[in-house]
Amino acid sequence: MELIDGKKISLQLQSEIAEEVKTIVSKGGKQPHLAAVLVGNDGGSETYVAAKIKACENVGFKSTFIRHTSEVTEAELLATVVKLNNDKDIDGYIVQMPLPKHIDEQKIIKAVDPAKDVDGFHPVNVGRMVLSLPSYISATPNGIVELIKRYKIETSGKHCVVIGRSNIVGSPMSILMAKNNAFANCTVTICHSKTKDISFFTKQADIIICALGKPEFLTADMVKQGAVVIDVGTTRVTSTETKSGFKLKGDVKFDEVAPKCSFITPVPGGVGPMTIASLLSNTLLASKKVIYK
């Protein structure tokens, strides 16, 4: 069993990005610039945005942080989006989700210039991904594909079972793993809440991507010997073992599943850390105008 070390790969990616930025800037090129918009003061969102800004500094990006109170109107937030679309120095930006209930998230997402949509949430980028056209792929799916690449996990002709059909993980992963390229070419099954017997499918799987958000859902009896298991779940559960009083739990019962696996991602330290590297990587692509000219 080999542990997939997302933390290590993420840092490796970030140092590669930092190198490239150094070269670009030393040749007089443009320093990549990411903006992050935060609405309200949800603890989780604060932490995520702070981590993204910090990561920008680490790799030599310029960053801009825009904060709105949770009372911001949809029109005001849209005005910020338009301003960011028009700001020539900003290569890409994110509007941290979730947004307060009085704001239509899809309306905001659709207002983002697809060329600056480094979160890959805009329908144009989702559609381009499906059609195998160049696009920004959203952070988690992008991170998972990168882990598969870096660990040289064999995928062609393998049966990949994706659990969960969310717009941000399950659905795009099922699409990406079935594509005709060297890091995909899987036969893909997508399972979800309406699947009658998920274990029937997971037992057949060479690769399992678990993204349903149910702590310790995937148990050893559901997994074939030698399977690759990617755990996307991150549920906060209360714990007496940590100072904070909580612990991050994955969708996989790690202790019993790991011994059966050829590769497995831990939680924390697996897929999670990859999301920041994905965002930086998309921002670099935006700055270099690789996807949109």
Q: Does 131 interact with its own copies (rule: CB under 8 A)?
A: yes
Give the binding range for its own copies (CB under 8 A) out of 49-57, 73-81, 94-102, 170-178.
170-178
Alpha carbon distance 250, 211 (integer Å): 9
Say whether 31 is catalytic: no
Alpha carbon distance 108, 217 (integer Å): 34
Q: Does 69 interact with its own copies (rule: CB under 8 A)?
A: no
Q: Hey, which residues between 107 and 126 contact its own copies (CB under 8 A)?
A: 122-126
Say whether 119 is catalytic: yes
Say whether 87 is catalytic: no
| Number of alpha carbons in the 13 Å side-chain half-sphere of residue 114 | 16
Q: Does 139 interact with its own copies (rule: CB under 8 A)?
A: no
Q: Which position among 3, 97, 178, 248 is part of the footprint of its own copies (CB under 8 A)?
A: 178
CB 52 to its own copies: min, Å = 23
CA distance to 72, 130, 167, 248, per residue, from 133 (Å):
36, 8, 19, 36
What is the total residue count of the chain? 293
CB 179 to its own copies: min, Å = 8
Q: Does 157 interact with its own copies (rule: CB under 8 A)?
A: yes
CB 36 to its own copies: min, Å = 22
Q: Which position among 35, 39, 190, 277 is part of the footprint of its own copies (CB under 8 A)?
A: 190
Alpha carbon distance 264, 269 (integer Å): 11
Nearest to 9 by CA among 263, 253, 186, 292: 263
For 75-132, give the DSSP string.
HHHHHHHHHHHH-TT--EEEEPSPPPTTS-HHHHHHHS-GGGBTT--SHHHHHHHHTT
Give me the 81-110 binding string for its own copies, x by CB under 8 A, dash otherwise. Answer: -------------------------x----
Could you say which of 5, 52, 206, 249 is catalytic? 52
- How many other β-carbons are positioned within 10 Å of the β-carbon of residue 91? 25
CB 141 to its own copies: min, Å = 12
- Let me know: does 108 contact 95? Beta carbons within 8 Å: yes
Interface residues with its own copies (CB under 8 A) are 106, 122-133, 156-157, 165, 167, 171-172, 174-175, 178-180, 185-196, 201
Residues classed as catalytic: 52, 96, 119
